[in-house]
């Protein structure tokens, strides 16, 4: 659907050259919910703006459905952008227009007759759960409602791809979950491919099937979310999945292990069973787990007792139960 081939983007500033994106190659397939994650300043927003040529790459090529965007005329590019809609963290709604008129706006620009545009806007607002807010204005809406309007407006052009640039970072956790559920529903029912730009691993875990981890403009690793979540290979992926907190950095001396869950039954009392059967107490120093379809995915950081025989029993228990783990440098 979207293919990036050795894409780089360089900005020239008063402080010198800034390589925001450096030699990135990605393939986003039709039907994906594809996540791009990284810390602030990693180049995520620049990369996503290269996907629809709001930013023209300095080097490399962006292809949409096999066609290089650089080969298109301005008119053809504008038409292609109708198939690659975008929603933003700041909503970007027109404050002097009602909710209905905001969603109608891209249809008006496209020359769609007024009655047809309004009928389509009403239908889309019903899809996003705002059928009762047609006459309201942005100032009368909550953050989550504003983002729903922005999603409805983005869908007005019947896009094949929806680019979401930090679309939930300004929202509270409950509203974020509701918006992510809506995006997943749109992907499943309307067949829209979605690209999610975020710095939050929880967002990636919630809806994405594939993810690229960006670090200073470079892809540190890329693959299925379940693979990277359970076995991150790069330092930046480890930091995003299980951030270093005070509990770990200030902990007492002792052996640390990272226990990886990649599909065990989520109702199994793993820690309790381990402690009882090994006659050993362990300390949970950090955890990041998800229940997906009754299965446990994620990891727990444990500090083991100093007793070497107790450590040996714990390692044997995990080997016997085919539980993945790795030692973590303290």
Radius of gyration of the chain (CA): 23
Q: Are residues 219 and 260 in the same domain?
A: no
pTM for the model stands at 0.78
Q: Are residues 258 and 113 in the same domain?
A: no
Q: Are residues 27 and 87 in the same domain?
A: yes
Q: Are residues 94 and 176 in the same domain?
A: yes
Could you give the percent of the chain with pLDDT greater than 70?
Answer: 92
Q: What is the mean pLDDT of the chain?
A: 87
**Residue 315 scores a pLDDT above 70:** yes
What's the CA gap between 327 and 29, in Å, rounded?
Answer: 36
Q: Which of the four pLDDT bands, split at 50, 70 and 90, describes residue 29?
A: very high
Of 184, 202, 233, which marks where a domain is finished? 233
pLDDT tens digits, residue range 72-81? 999 999 999 9
Q: Are residues 174 and 38 in the same domain?
A: yes
Could you give the percent of the chain with pLDDT greater than 90?
Answer: 53
Contact 45, 23 (CB under 8 A): no
CATH number reported for the structural domain that contains residue 314 in this entry: 3.30.70.260
**Residue 247 scores a pLDDT above 70:** no
The interaxial angle of helices 143-155 and 173-190, nearest 10 deg, is 20
Burial 37-46 (b: 16+ CB within 10 A, else e): bbeeebbbbb
299: phi then psi, degrees, rounded to nearest 5: -160, 155
Sign for the CA dihedral angle at 222, 206, 226, 256 comes to positive
Q: Are residues 226 and 247 in the same domain?
A: no
Q: Are residues 255 and 303 in the same domain?
A: yes
Q: Are residues 164 and 300 in the same domain?
A: no
**Residue 296 scores a pLDDT above 80:** no
**Residue 250 scores a pLDDT above 50:** no
Instruction: Identify the helix (H) or strand (E) that includes residue 260.
Output: strand 256-265
In sequence order, the 6+-apart residues with CB closer than 8 A to the CB of 168 are 147, 175, 176, 179, 180, 198, 200, 203
Domain that holds residue 70: 2-233
| pLDDT score of 169 | 83
| pLDDT score of 103 | 94
Q: Are residues 147 and 118 in the same domain?
A: yes
Q: Which of the four pLDDT bands, split at 50, 70 and 90, describes residue 11?
A: very high
Contact 295, 306 (CB under 8 A): no
Of 199, 233, 267, which marks where a domain is finished? 233
| pLDDT score of 292 | 62
**Residue 35 scores a pLDDT above 80:** yes
Q: Are residues 64 and 207 in the same domain?
A: yes
Instruction: Identify the helix (H) or strand (E) that includes residue 283.
Output: strand 283-292
**Residue 39 scores a pLDDT above 80:** yes
What's the CA gap between 3 and 32, in Å, rounded?
Answer: 13
| pLDDT score of 330 | 59
| pLDDT score of 246 | 38
CA distances from 298 to 76, 226, 227, 229, 234 (A): 44, 9, 10, 6, 16
Q: Are residues 73 and 7 in the same domain?
A: yes
Domain count, the chain: 2
**Residue 52 scores a pLDDT above 90:** yes
Report the candidate in 165, 141, 154 with the shortest Cα–Cα distance to residue 192: 154
Q: Are residues 40 and 84 in the same domain?
A: yes
**Residue 1 scores a pLDDT above 80:** yes
pLDDT tens digits, residue range 163-216? 999 888 878 889 999 999 999 999 999 999 999 999 888 888 889 999 999 999
| pLDDT score of 273 | 87
Of 176, 207, 233, which marks where a domain is finished? 233
| pLDDT score of 243 | 57
CATH number reported for the structural domain that contains residue 207 in this entry: 3.40.50.300
The interaxial angle of helices 308-320 and 270-278, nearest 10 deg, is 130
**Residue 51 scores a pLDDT above 90:** yes
| pLDDT score of 77 | 92
| pLDDT score of 249 | 42
């Amino acid at each position: 659907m979207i293919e990036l081939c050795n894409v780089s983007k360089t900005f020239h500033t008063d402080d010198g050259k800034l390589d925001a994106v450096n030699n990135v190659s990605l393939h986003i397939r039709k039907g994906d919910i594809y996540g791009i994650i990284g810390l602030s300043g990693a180049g995520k927003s620049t990369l996503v703006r290269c996907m629809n040529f709001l930013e023209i790459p300095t080097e490399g090529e962006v292809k949409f459905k096999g066609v290089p965007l650089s080969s298109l005329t301005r008119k053809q590019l504008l038409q292609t952008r109708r198939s690659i809609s975008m929603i933003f963290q700041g909503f970007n709604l027109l404050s002097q227009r009602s909710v209905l008129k905001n969603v109608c706006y891209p249809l008006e620009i496209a020359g769609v007759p007024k009655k047809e545009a309004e009928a389509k806007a009403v239908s889309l607002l019903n899809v996003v759960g705002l059928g009762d807010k047609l006459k309201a204005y942005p100032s009368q809406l909550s953050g989550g409602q504003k983002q729903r309007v922005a999603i409805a407006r983005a869908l007005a052009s019947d896009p094949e791809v929806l680019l979401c640039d930090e679309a939930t970072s300004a929202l509270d956790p409950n509203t974020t979950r509701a918006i992510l559920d809506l995006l997943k529903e749109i992907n499943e029912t309307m067949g829209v491919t979605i690209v999610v730009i975020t710095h939050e691993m929880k967002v990636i875990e919630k809806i994405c099937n594939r993810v690229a981890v960006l670090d200073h403009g470079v892809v540190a690793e890329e693959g299925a979310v379940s693979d990277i979540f359970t076995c991150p290979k790069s330092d930046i992926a480890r930091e995003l999945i299980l951030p270093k907190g005070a509990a770990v950095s200030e902990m007492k001396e002792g052996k640390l292990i990272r226990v990886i869950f990649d599909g065990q039954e989520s109702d199994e009392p793993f820690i309790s069973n381990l402690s009882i059967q090994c006659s050993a107490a362990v300390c949970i120093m950090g955890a990041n787990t998800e229940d997906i379809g009754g299965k446990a995915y994620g990891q727990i950081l444990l500090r083991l007792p100093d007793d070497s025989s107790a450590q040996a029993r714990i390692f044997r228990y995990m080997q016997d139960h085919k539980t993945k783990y790795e030692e973590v440098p303290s």
